[in-house]
Structure 1
Amino acid sequence: MTEAPAVPQGDEIAPDSRFARLLSLDAAQVRCPFPAYADLRQGEPVVWSERLNAFVVSRYADIREVLKDPVTFSSAKASGSSSVTALAQHVLESPEFPDDVRRVAERRLRLSGSPVLLNADPPLHKRQRGLVSHAFTPRRVNEMEPLFQRITDELIDSFIDRGEAELIADFALPLPMTVIATILGVPPSMMHTFKRWSGAFTRGVGALDLPTAEVVDIFRAVGEFYDYFSEQLEVRRAAPADDLLTDLLQARIAGEQPLTEDEILQMLVQFLIGGNETTTNLIGGIMCHLLRDPELMAEVKADPGRIPTLVEEGLRLEAPTQGMFRTTTKDTEIAGRPVPEGSMVFLIYASGNRDACEFADPEQIKLHEARGHHLAFGRGEHVCIGANLARREAAIAISTLLNRLPGLAAGTDPERLDYHPTFILRGPRRLPITFRA
């Protein structure tokens, strides 16, 4: 009998490499990680990262093959070691954290025992997706377009007379935040709190080392989130409303159990991040490309019918979620390399999206080609359930900004922007713009 291959001893990622500096959140690499990904693609197809405790996969074809096999490659730990769940385990193992924070960490670990959608494998994933998918169909998204447009116009109205704005704080952040909050039935008076909760969950993603004070702040906000929505679910049971909370409580499929409260709470976290932070980053990323390239902006303004293609290219080039993890359920191979059972695998979607073996001129935006087979929303069974929502929000946002802000230009050098310190979620922290008031 052949002995099972062992996980490598020692890091195969050179400590001074660009990818190693990216994992350490070096500002220059976070701002532009794409040369680091190119280094990986040009080297070995699959390399072991001791820092991530995972095999790193960087080429499009290999990533696609992994995503086609959700049985061998489990999604149970899709965020890897850089997640709020992993932080919760750290809290319980460390005596310096106060009791209230430890209680929230215990609750998080208990809830994570009910995997949902992003972290669920078949057949559980199929049941959950069937129960909630009606809320994100193209028809339902089309019905929400007037809401998207109204919120978009109200946000632009708030700064259009100034002749300048900070596009992230004034627009790209509150737009999807207000949309998802409205869908969840959160009142406008709670938007600031809602954003604080969203930030708490995302700060734990793609950051391997956080100071104790920040971890405390994260878990206190996480606890508030769980308490609020547990209470709101009780309210909806007694008095159903026209919102997603009620839809989740009432979702039924013949022969299947309805969603549990633990499943719903975990889904709300995923909707919060997937429907909020990533759409903010998508809008910011696309606008960066337009502000860097006045000819591209002029072409899109002259032919708004190209905006859906622009959104797809923005997804491909910027990939708001740069990558996700999988865990092997048996000994297997990736690109001919043995990968033992129980190994973590980091799939760099953003690297595959710029693979020249799959996309001609991968660094360029192509408005006259269909390249929607990118990996930004994943592929296969776990393709993002909110993809239609994100596409329409972004398309309406970009179209309205270009229509309503004449003379739109960057207020600072787009090549020197600061990006959020994470190697999984990608987006600029600030994006100053100017225009004719």
Structure 2
Amino acid sequence: MNSTRTRRVLLAAVGVAALALPLAACSSGGDGGGEGGTEITFLVPNAGTNVESAEAMIAAFEDENPDITVKVESQPAGTEGDNLMKTKLATGEMSDVFWYNSGSLFQALNPDQNLAPLSDESWVGDMQEGMAAVVSTDNGVYGAPFGATQAGAVVYNKKIYADLGLEIPTSWDEFAANNEAIKAAGIAPVIQTYGDTWTSQLFILGDFGNVLAQDPEWGEEYTAGERKYVDEPASQGFLNQQVGFESDWWNEDFASALYDDGARMVATGEGAHYPILTGIVSTFQQNFPDELENIGVFALPAQKAEDTKLTVWLPNAVYIPKTTEGDKLEAAKKFVAFINSSAGCDVQNTAMVPSGPYAIDSCTLPDDVPGLLKDMQVYFDEGNTNPALEFLSPIKGPNLENITVEVGSGIRPAEDGAALYDEDVKKQAQQLGLDGW
């Protein structure tokens, strides 16, 4: 999937709007790194609270390392930022440390040529396997996580489940049975919010962990043009969405309802399930704090329970370019290590709102996080997670959200929707110049 496009979706999910203009470079405000010290720069995308989060991390780091000063630099996020990253690396003008995507967009930076290897750093062994895979090449590790994960899953109302005596479903048949019981009780079983079209994609995006459980090579083969959405197991997501519409599981206003309406409905019990990104937790914290512990999450069920996996969006990472050398390289490595230390984790837990568990064992969620995040942690602890497709492939057709609105509204059958998306994807893959398309 196109990580940039989906990243915009993720930012929308947590209420963050990407800024159109770059912020001026600014320092952390600390007075570390005085005469005789080392000064390094840290580049971050100027979306949401990224700059403020970076400054909080720098302040804590400089307190422990008074001989090092870190100055923040910023640039636009999105496609413009992607192009700037490549230009700066190619011209040798990259900041000493930079914060960027993991997964397919990281691979597009030609890391073996442009980035400093970090395989020998002490924190590498703490990274979860899935995270290590999306900041590495065959030649080693180049990045460390900064931020938490989130998932595409089913957010649900725990009170409805308790009142109706329902159990968390692990298979599609169990999910369907729960939905029928909820519908019989006069409650909307599944909330859909097609007024914000991006939210219609979750039956496809959130099912990818289940696809990967059945076909571990699907992402790689998809990039090579050898896998299609019209074929099983990937076609199942489209079919599940068609089943939901035909079974009358949606809320009556699904065609016009917005993301904020979906958050309200599941929080207040107007609806039971909302397939969505778990970054929605920040909306619950802000708008429905009294209902927060009535909200949980489970993985979008596969047809078979043994294939049900939580589909995870891994965090961005911090990298060091090869142009960072000498004392600056040592200072940069110290800064990267600090981000993933217990002290750095404390900063992330306070300056950033976690949307899921962390992808490195040295960083843990505080005890007082919402129950929704604790529900996610169980999947991580049991090894029942898989990465979203965007971390395995650069391909995501631009029209998926329009196609899933049509399938979810009964306008287009699932098989036709999957075939149309395969054509949409083909055009994008050809534009990227990928072999096999």
Q: Shorter-normalised TM-score: what interval?
A: under 0.3
TM-score normalised over the length of structure 1: 0.23
Q: Which has the larger share of helix?
A: 1
Q: Which has the larger share of strand?
A: 2
